[in-house]
Amino acid sequence: MLSAFLTILTLLAVCAVVAHFHPQGSHRAAAREGWRQLQPLLTRLPIALLAAAFLAVLIPADAIGSLFGEASGWPGVLAASLLGGFLPGGPVVAFPLVVVLFDAGAGIAQLIALITAWSVLAFHRVAAFELPMLGARTTAARLLVSLPLPVFAGTAAGVIAL
């Protein structure tokens, strides 16, 4: 967690230096835009974290371990891929859930499969946006080539053994 924070802080510093020498940039404008983008998260993120904490209490750790634990292997990766594909919402919902599952004993391979399925498959977004806008043929083609990706990512993560 600290390394991610330090990486983002370094990127911020580099961008600030580049923006300082950019003739059309303004630190005030950048700060205003950053604040505008942060405001919705200030209400959503604490609520999502609180909901995830309640889930951690409600879902027994042994159930998570048997379904999504390291020992669940290939079936756990498949189950996590299925759950990820049907997981609604954005990152404010998905990532706190992943933290709860990790704390409850879910394996890294299974969590990578879940997040990959959530980001690549997202069946709720397919039904709401992709199918009506792109049509059945394009949507089916995309889903056909995307379906194996979460399973592949989870399996590869299990082989690498992060």
Q: Is residue 48 part of a domain?
A: no
Residues 1 and 77 in one domain: no
Residue 106 identity (one-letter amino acid): A
pTM, to two decimals: 0.71
Question: Which residues span the domain enclosing 25?
Answer: 1-43
How many domains, the chain?
2
Buried b (16+ CB within 10 A) or exposed e, 47-85: ebeeebeeebeeeeeeebbebbbeebeeebbbbbbbbbb
Same-domain pairing of 29 and 67: no
- 38 and 63 fall within a common domain: no
Q: What does the pLDDT profile of the chain (162 residues) look like in tens digits?
A: 678 788 989 998 998 888 888 777 677 888 888 889 888 878 877 887 787 777 767 777 777 777 888 888 889 999 999 999 998 888 888 888 888 888 888 899 999 999 999 999 999 899 999 999 999 999 999 999 999 999 999 999 988 865
- One domain, residues 1 and 67: no
